[in-house]
Amino acid sequence: MSTNSEYSNGELQTIVAARSLAGKRSCFIGVGRPSTAALLARMVHNPKLVLVYESGTIGAKPYHVPLSIGDGELAETADLVVSVPEMFNYWIGPGRVQVAFLGAAQVDPQANLNSTVIGEYEHPKTRLPGAGGAPEIATGCAEVVVIAPHSTRTFVKQLDFKTTRGERTTRVITDLGVLEPVAGELTLTTLHPDVRVEQVRENTGWDLKIADNVQVSDAPSAQELAALRELVAR
């Protein structure tokens, strides 16, 4: 964990996620950190990146980080606004959106996701919001990037409920590092600066495989950090 640097691990997570959108054509995003990362990517790496929100706004160019996926600014700045059936049947299903950013309450070693329940389905300990658009987004988009906090609560060996399939997941970006599928199993490939391998293992609920050559994420550049802070302060 970076203790003496001038940025938080959360900021770094957002910045690393934004970097993964360099050179991409379009990205499907939900609210929260994914949305912040995608807006940051448009500011720093990829001004032409097409942002797609499941509310039907395609090519949205919000100035502020939206609270909901249906904020007015998204519709007002979009290239086109479509109905929900059109969004899923014409745009997501046929694979017209290249990358998807997804979050989840639980992630398993195959990058399958749970956003439905913790505990038994019929008598859940915690009822989560449910599937939303995720299942079809994860099978429609060519690449899925999962953004999640790194803890044993989130990274579990066995999901309580499989909401979303993980086959298309190319990266899982956490506040500690990056996991990528190697031979079908999420493997630690990148550590954030000042994070130790042991720390990542301790925060993963299975015996995490470690890549032979673990890379270290570049620390945020002055430009990235300034842009992120300016964006969040808007």
| Interface with another protein (CB under 8 A) | 31-32, 54-57, 66-72, 74-76, 80-85, 87-89, 92-93, 116, 121, 124-136, 139-140, 161-165
State which residue, 44 or 147, has the beta carbon closest to another protein: 147
State which residue, 120 or 202, has the beta carbon closest to another protein: 120
Strand-pair category, 143-147 with 99-102: parallel
The least CB distance from residue 55 to another protein, in Å, is: 5
Q: What DSSP state is assigned to residue 164?
A: B
The least CB distance from residue 122 to another protein, in Å, is: 9
The least CB distance from residue 85 to another protein, in Å, is: 4
The least CB distance from residue 197 to another protein, in Å, is: 32
What element of type H or E holds 18?
helix 9-19
The least CB distance from residue 37 to another protein, in Å, is: 15
Q: What is the Cα–Cα distance from 108 to 221, expressed in whole angstroms?
A: 32
Question: Is 63:42 a contact under the CB 8 Å cutoff?
Answer: no
* Per-residue CA distances from 136 to 56, 89, 94, 97, 174 (Å): 15, 10, 10, 12, 23
State which residue, 82 or 197, has the beta carbon closest to another protein: 82
Phi, psi of 177 (to 5 degrees): 175, -160
Strand-pair category, 50-53 with 106-107: unpaired
What element of type H or E holds 145?
strand 143-147
- Kindly name the residue from 6, 11, 54, 136 that is annotated as catalytic: 54
Question: Is 216:192 a contact under the CB 8 Å cutoff?
Answer: yes
State which residue, 105 or 178, has the beta carbon closest to another protein: 105
CA trace torsion 177, 61, 224, 16 (10° rounding): 10
State which residue, 91 or 155, has the beta carbon closest to another protein: 91
Scored b (16 or more CB within 10 A) or e, 179-204 reads bbbeeeebbbbbbbbebeeeebeebb
Q: Is 54 a catalytic residue?
A: yes
Catalytic positions: 54
